[in-house]
Chain A
Amino acid sequence: EAQVTQNPRYLITVTGKKLTVTCSQNMNHEYMSWYRQDPGLGLRQIYYSMNVEVTDKGDVPEGYKVSRKEKRNFPLILESPSPNQTSLYFCASSYYRDRVYEQYFGPGTRLTVT
């Protein structure tokens, strides 16, 4: 089954404790992204990746890091989480074919930083 998986799905942590949210896709897509969703603000892109070892900042990259060492994986790293990073996080992978660009989103990771 074609899918994007994220782990963990739920996480409660404390300020300053480094964490990683994993994202994996099995569709051989080149493009991957991370978003955060907050009430009243919609989805905002954090980082995106055009291919292995190619990443760039989205709208809200501060406090986050990413890496793309393999095509299928795109982990999101919070080196020193703060309460304002409490949010619902989505990973997406995407493809472009026949003049259509479609993103597939993961199930989300709900992060609480206390």
Chain B
Amino acid sequence: LAKTTQPISMDSYEGQEVNITCSHNNIATNDYITWYQQFPSQGPRFIIQGYKTKVTNEVASLFIPADRKSSTLSLPRVSLSDTAVYYCLVGDFIPRDNYGQNFVFGPGTRLSVLP
């Protein structure tokens, strides 16, 4: 899996848009980018996955530039309940016969949303 680098922590206020950037300089051609959210004492929850350009779903957007060496998770109008740790994963997630799936979650970005 490609090594990723994210800020350790970020602060924001309610109602603001939050952008968390992940660097992955050695991303491979077949690698996808996935973001997870984790609340204290809970398992991570899938947010979004993308390969290039922009992906949007009901909770977030993912921006990936042409060189794919970084990606940005965008959370629109955050609320207090968005306070969590956000993980960026990069890898070839496509399962194949007898091909293992070894996922590594880094330390993530601890987002604190303030009132």
Please list the residues of chain A having a beta carbon within 8 angstroms of any beta carbon in chain B.
Answer: 4, 30-31, 33, 35, 40-45, 48, 50, 54, 56, 58-59, 88, 90, 92, 94, 96, 99-108, 110
Contacts and interface: CB of A to CB of B under 8 A. Distances in A.
Given A40-B107, A42-B106, A42-B108, A103 B100 contact: no
Interface in B74-115: 87, 93-95, 97-108
Nearest to B105: A43
A56 B100 contact: yes
Contact of A33 (B34, B93, B101): B101
Contacts, number: 75
Instruction: Point out which of A31, A56, A103, A104 has the most chain B C-beta atoms below 10 A from its C-beta.
Output: A103
A45 B103 contact: yes
B45 A50 contact: no
B98 A50 contact: yes
A4 B46 CA distance: 14
